[in-house]
Structure 1
Amino acid sequence: MSALPMHPRFVSLEGGEGAGKTTVLAALRAELAASGGEVVVTREPGGTPLAEKIRSLLLLPGDETVAAETELLLMFAARAQHVRETVLPALERGAWVLCDRFTDSSFAYQGGGRGLDAGFIEELEWRVVGIRPGLTMLLDIDVARGRERIRGRDPRPDRIERERDAFFERVRATFLARAAAEPGRFRVVDASHPVDEVVAAAVAALRAFAEAA
């Protein structure tokens, strides 16, 4: 399969648990909004009413074990709706789209974490999604340090947050491998530093990308 098109006004933010995505996302939004254009901030899974309902199915703990394949297909069902109803319309009208997670998370969590075949995920990406961000910001942090940051933050962690450290080590390794394979799209930010330094590094990377676009 040939490479999917990358849109220069589409930016995704990736990272493991405790990487500080929420804080960085707000700073990136402010940076893009400073130019005066429209900025659409969205998330995955989610981003539309239907996709948010699928998010609840995916993340709420329940009595029934969710098969890895079920999890993957639900992720892509939500993503298909999100791309068609939110992402593409915003890009077509000239807005920036800033997305908290995108398809790279499926490669990392369902591929690396769950052990599903990357070729199958790539096929779904090609047939269902059809687009990649022009810039993917990866906030990288050691698993133990990241989990320590969020310990006690939410007394009711979601279904995926309840996974063991080994799962998240595989997720992190997959993110880093994808970043190494696509240096033109990824910018890796060391999220173990103090939050102001992480934010400054992420904003600087976004600014350089936007100026070159």
Structure 2
Amino acid sequence: MAEQGNLYQKLIVTAKELLDRGEVLPGTIHELAHIAEVDPDAAQHCFASMEDLDEGLLYHAVVLLNDSLRKGMIGSASRRPDMQLRSLARSYSEWASDNPTLFRLLTQGLNGTFADDSALHRFTLSMRDLFERKFHEMCDLGILDPKTDVPKLILMLHCLVRGGNIVIIERATDPWLQQDERAAAMMAADIFDDFLDCVMSAHAPRAKIMATETTMN
């Protein structure tokens, strides 16, 4: 069993290294096995096809990204859901910048069609559920108004994340960004901070808005 696990990882790592160098993956598992210097028949037992290998790469990326996000949430050292989300966003953008090959695969996969039982499907739904839960916590704690339209916020955030993913990937070639010296990870984190600031301002509990208006008057 351990040997099978080692072979699986060997093939995944070999494929990732090829992509890191800008090379195209081979057309068959046997060709990949030759590059990885492993037994072709044993490799075929790990991955029946290159499509299965692609799913393996995506699963590998999701596992690593989820681990980074978990550490980001813990690293926030706060029970406030808004602070946890800010920390998670920074972890997300930093991981994306540190792992460009895997992140590009994730983004391309998320922008395409994927099966209901795929790693990408489970990942994107878990992220949606996490943000939805944190927004509801913000409502319960009085950070947001209890009547806040959370599904609308989730849709806005979905659009923001999809756009942010492309910004991170195309950072070096996007003419709109050539004059911006910030690293992609910093740009993405700043964008999320601004989004959350606007959400908290626009959907603050009515009592807080009235207090602010009184102070201004």
Q: Name which structure has the greater RCO, CA cutoff 8 Å, separation 6+.
A: 1
Q: TM-score range by the shorter chain?
A: 0.3 to 0.5
Greater fraction of residues in helix: 2
**Which is greater in Rg?**
2
User: What TM-score results when the alignment is normalised by the length of structure 1?
Assistant: 0.35
